[in-house]
Amino acid sequence: MDTRQLRTFVAIAEHGTFARAALIVNLTPSAVSQQVHSLEQELDIKLFNRDSRPPSLNLQGLKMLETAKQVLALVDETRGVLSGKQMTGTLNIGSVRTSTIGLLPRAIVTLRQEFPELNVNLRGHVFDVDQ
- For the stretch 44-72, pLDDT in tens is 999 998 887 888 999 999 999 989 998 88
Residue 112 main-chain phi, psi, to 5 deg: -65, -35
**Could you count the other beta carbons within 10 Å of the beta carbon of residue 80?**
15
* Cα–Cα nearest to 124, from 101, 107, 103: 101
| Position 1 pLDDT exceeds 90 | no
Domain boundaries, the chain: 3-83, 89-123
Q: What is the pLDDT of residues 96-129, one digit of tens each?
A: 555 555 566 777 777 777 777 777 776 665 544 4
Q: What fold does the segment set 3-83 form as a domain?
A: Arc Repressor Mutant, subunit A (1.10.10)
**Could you count the other beta carbons within 10 Å of the beta carbon of residue 89?**
8
User: Is the pTM higher than 0.75?
Assistant: no
The distance between the two most distant Cα atoms of the chain, rounded to a whole number of Å, is: 67
pLDDT given at position 58: 94
